[in-house]
Structure 1
Amino acid sequence: AEVASSAAADRPPIEVAVLLSDEKERKLRLFERCRQNPPSGVRFHRLDLDELLQSGSRYRVVLHKIHSELTSNKPESIDRVRRFKAWIEARGSELVLLDPLRGLESMLLYRFAQCQAMSRCVAACPEPLRQRVFVPRYALVQNPGDPVADSNGALRFPLLCKPHLASGAEAHSMSLVFNAGQLADLRPPLVAQEFVNHGARIIKVYVLGSRIHACIRPSVRDFQADHAGPAIQFSSHAVSKAGCQSELSDAAASAQNGDDGEMLLSRYSGLLEPLCRACRSVLGLDLLNLDLVPDTRSGRLGLVDINQFPGFESMPNYVDALVELIKLKVNY
């Protein structure tokens, strides 16, 4: 697939190779949107990885989401990724990669690495902001019976537990546990993180270069430390996607529209841009989604997840922001 631009005749367009799965393109509808409203100065070409590697140096920019290849242990995928890295190295500084692979693989693979990356992002924030944003305490549990603690001591229940592997069929399977017995029933390796009561609402921030878009999504309702019920298993996709209705959510508190949601966003609006700048700087990535929870006790914002190349279909006019970023990267 190819989408031509409406570039001026005296200036050739930027040729952009796009590596996306069929599912990602169905959701993103990048090529459909570009056919309806051709961008100026940029031409997108959809390829697979093998086609790109055979294309030589035609493309100035590569926009990719090949997470399944990067995290696969299949020999053919490992070989393709090896050849892709060699191709990138051979192109040198003339190639713009959205996003660079450096540091991306470990963050895609392991939740503990994701938590460490989030901690670095918060530490890089300017001082006034650093007092209002935090990463909930977390620990890696590699073996049954391991202490669930960080440098400040044991973590406090309830704990939200996630598989250590951040990719694959089980990656979105979560457990909320309220005592050590329930934790012992889970199968390591896993990352345990202190659960923050947040009024059943999560702030999702989409970051595309310097542009951001924030919206409210439903989330898990509040629980107290002395909650006496059983452990709760759920999929994050079944709780926090747009339009989700789950018995784990509080329908009144998690309203996505109306004054309540707007008030929540306005309360934290001054924090979002500097936090996003810090994340981009620390991670070296421009295509991000941040999940933030408003701590109902302290009023601070908890950074609980970062994803690379999220569903920008939720972001108004994301194609304009993408074209703007590409032109900035190549000094067009």
Structure 2
Amino acid sequence: MKNKGILFVAIDLNRPLLDQGPFDVVLHKLLGKDWCGTIEDYRKENPEVAILDPPDAIEHLLNRQSMLNDVTDLNLSDCHGKLPLVAKPLVVDGTAKSHELFLAYDQFSLSELEPPLVLQEFVNHGGVLFKIYIVGEAIKVVRRFSLPNVTKQEVSKVEGVFRFPRVSSAAASADDADLDPSVAELPPPPLLEKLARELRHRLGLRLFNVDMIREHGTKDVFYVIDINYFPGYGKMPDYEHVFTDFLLSLMRSKDKNRAAQ
């Protein structure tokens, strides 16, 4: 990115952050009480520097209940849960365990799982989910293979809990697969723009992605099932171009604010 005038400098965690720089943007993916205090002290001394993103806002996404409350508060639809249920660990801490996924066919089998958990109604979605990458104002969408549909016969006959590996990954890309057009059609841009705008405001974040599914057999019934902070943008189309434009836009905004003062 040097040809765009952007220079990345690694932060030395063994030295006080206030002694380093100067920086135009602090880009990080660290948490913990000490680091949060360090960032907060730095923000107070350098209010003109963009922090991507504030630790207190990031922490909001480490709990799937608080994470999805922001989506529920949008009040876009009324949902009524039923079996089977998807069970996910409550805490998102980047470990393999936090990405474990279980499908429970009956409520009694939930006792086999280790709480705390978040339970979501399983919705047939054609085995495809949409990963919506948000970088500032930019939105990019990719398709990923997901859990297959579950029939009514399976629900009535099957008991117990089934464990799935991590569902969405770069290797599970469905963008080039021969999919039914009704499954492959991307969510409409106006919906994505409104969702991204509202979540940016509610979460106070500029770097995150949203996992969304379309209810199978419908055209415009969508569900948000997960939100992730600072995802692997290498899986996003044109990520270098998008990320570069985003950083440059921060600098233009910063220069405009200086000129106005």
Instruction: Name the TM-score class by shorter chain.
Output: 0.7 to 0.9
Judge conservation of contact 1:216–1:261 (CA < 8 Å) in 2: no
Tell me how far apart the structure 2 counterparts of residues 182 and 212 of structure 1 sit (CA, whole Å). Answer: 39
CA contact (8 A) 2:130 2:186 kept: no
Which contiguous aligned blocks of 4+ residues in structure 1 show a shift greater than 6 angstroms? none
Residues 1:256 and 2:182 are matched in the alignment: no
Distance 1:39 1:101, change over 3 A: farther
Aligned to 2:246: 325
User: 2:71 aligns to what?
Assistant: 118
Unaligned runs of 5+ in 2: 256-261
How much does 1:188 deviate? Answer: 1.6
Aligned-partner SS, 1:45: coil
The corresponding residue for 1:286 is: 206
Write the distance in 2 (CA, Å) between the matches of 1:86 and 1:216: 40
| Alpha-carbon distance change, 276 to 52 in structure 1, aligned in 2, over 3 angstroms | farther
The structure showing larger relative contact order (alpha-carbon pairs under 8 Å, at least 6 residues apart) is: 2
CA RMSD after TM alignment: 2.5
The equivalences for 1:44-193 within 5 A come to 44-51=8-15, 53-56=17-20, 58-66=22-30, 69-70=31-32, 78-91=33-46, 93-108=47-62, 110-120=63-73, 122-123=74-75, 130=76, 155-167=81-93, 168-193=95-120
Residue 166 of structure 1 aligns to a residue in which SS? coil
Answer yes or no: is the 8 Å Cα contact 1:255–1:261 preserved in 2: no
Instruction: Tell which deviates more after alignment, 165-174 or 286-295.
Output: 165-174
Structure 1 residue 54: Cα displacement: 4.8
The alpha-carbon distance between structure 1 residues 307 and 262, as it changes in their structure 2 partners (threshold 3 A), is farther
Q: 2:106–2:159: 8 Å Cα contact kept in structure 1?
A: no
**Aligned residue in 2 for 1:240:** 168
Percent identity over paired residues: 29
Query: What is the SS of the residue equivalent to 2:86?
Result: strand
How far is the alpha carbon of 1:79 from its aligned partner? 2.8
Alignment of 1:292-331 (within 5 A): 292-299=212-219, 300-330=221-251, 331=253
Amino acid at match of 2:36: V
Letter in 2 for 1:106: H
Counterparts of 1:262 and 1:210, CA distance in 2 = 28
The aligned length equals: 247
> Contact 2:143/2:175 (CA < 8 Å) preserved in 1?
yes
Q: What letter corresponds to residue 37 of structure 2 in structure 1?
A: R
- The offset of 1:267, in angstroms, is 5.5
Q: CA deviation at 1:173?
A: 1.1
**Is the contact made by 1:203 and 1:291 (CA closer than 8 Å) also made in structure 2?**
yes
Structure 1 residues 282, 54: closer, same or farther in 2, change over 3 A? closer
Q: Aligned AA for 2:195?
A: L
Change (3 A) 1:113 1:227: farther
Residue 297 of structure 1 and its aligned partner are, at CA, apart by 4.7
**What TM-score do you get using the length of structure 1 for normalisation?**
0.67
- Aligned residue type for 1:94: E
What CA distance in whole angstroms lies between the structure 2 residues aligned with 1:189 and 1:324?
40
Whole-Å separation in 2 of the counterparts to 1:322 and 1:262: 30
Residue 259 of structure 2 corresponds to which residue in structure 1? none
Give the 3 Å change call, closer, same or farther, for CA 46–98 of structure 1 in structure 2: same
